[in-house]
Amino acid sequence: MAEITYRDAVIRGIAQEMARDNDVVFLGEDVAKAGGVFKATVGLYEQFGPLRVRDTPISEQAILGAAMGAAMTGLKPIAEIMFSDFFAVCFDYIANEFPKSRYMSNGQTKCPLVVRTGNGAGSRFGAQHSQSVENWCMMIPGLKVVAPSTPLDVVGLLAAAVRDPDPVIFLEHKSLYATKGEVPDGEILDTLGTAKIVRPGKDCTIVALALMVSRALVAAETLKSEHGIDCEVIDVRSLVPLDTRTILASVAKTNRLFTVEENPRLCGWGAEIVSIVADEAFYDLDGPPVRITTPHIPLPAADILEDIVLPTPERIVDTIRRSLGS
């Protein structure tokens, strides 16, 4: 057991799968000798060589086009798009090409690839480099969408993504790269489509993802110590497939639901979870589900304003306290 950073967990997860399977290849901008713009691929070039770890031109379309061709002809590529915002540049591949290849070929071709990307705000990169785009991806049939919050989940879910026969979007939160967590020795393999209850509780359910998980946990401790409210916190981890059983079982126990998401409010993933709970667990609810989100605006340039628009532990505490009448 060792304590490693989220960043080093990415390196370990990729290395584990490349060492295990010679068909796994890795490509992206500055990922080889430079070790990646976020230093999340350091050492991979030296370990696996230039045939399996390849720098690409600055062309998101070229990266995903090459990855799709490699996947359809027998390899298992991991492709890095440096910032998730750049999905907009290559969205035809993400929305129209590799998610549909197996369906349009009547199952004759597979497209087992992983698209890794730096996602999310809080690192002062501005409105075009700080978006959370998980809602862009989860609406597309044929894609699986994963967003780990801890180093352990990074390794295990990345392994599951690489071994999956379908395309997976793997969203790494940029503001988590320096955070640390314990990761066991040896091979680690997790399961896509599974949420985790990271804090048991009885008074309300908080559903969060990526950076918002740690903020929800801080808020839950404050609510318990200062207001006597015992919150259950669920780390969604995987938006597609979505672990509705864990969420619905928690709501059946606590009878209240709060979602905490970094996305702009309109069409965020929390709205889908609220809709599912309303459909399948309406009579378990003692009050309306509440979404805690960013406003529907581009992220501000000013540091202090960026911090204000993102959900904070303080806003989570205040929203839940007021909603529960405490």
Residue 204, classed as helix, strand or coil, is strand
Residue 201, classed as helix, strand or coil, is coil
* Distance, CA of 236 to CA of 208 (rounded, Å): 6
Residue-level pLDDT, tens digit, the chain, 326 residues:
899 999 999 999 999 999 999 999 999 999 999 999 999 999 999 999 999 999 999 999 999 999 999 999 999 999 999 999 999 999 999 999 999 999 999 989 999 999 999 999 988 889 999 999 999 999 999 999 999 999 999 999 999 999 999 999 999 999 999 999 999 999 999 999 999 999 999 999 999 999 999 999 999 999 999 999 999 999 999 999 999 999 999 999 999 999 999 999 999 999 999 999 999 999 999 999 999 999 999 999 898 999 999 999 999 999 999 999 86
129, 173, 227, 296: the catalytic one is 129
> What is the identity of the amino acid at 233?
V
> What is the identity of the amino acid at 54?
R
What does the pLDDT read at residue 301? Answer: 87
* Distance, CA of 153 to CA of 149 (rounded, Å): 7
Closest CA to 211 of 85, 315, 318, 122: 122
What does the pLDDT read at residue 271? Answer: 97
Q: What is the pLDDT of residues 152-190, one digit of tens each?
A: 999 999 999 999 999 999 999 999 999 999 999 999 999
* Distance, CA of 84 to CA of 64 (rounded, Å): 13
Residue 165: is the preceding peptide bond cis (ω within 30°)? no
Q: What is the pLDDT of residues 191-201, one digit of tens each?
A: 999 999 999 99
What does the pLDDT read at residue 1? Answer: 82
Q: Domains of the chain by range and CATH? A: 2-183 (3.40.50.970), 196-323 (3.40.50.920)
Instruction: Indicate if 129 belongs to the active site.
Output: yes
What does the pLDDT read at residue 19? Answer: 98
Q: Is the pTM of this model over 0.85?
A: yes
Angle at the Cα of 76 (from 71 to 79), degrees rounded to 5? Answer: 85
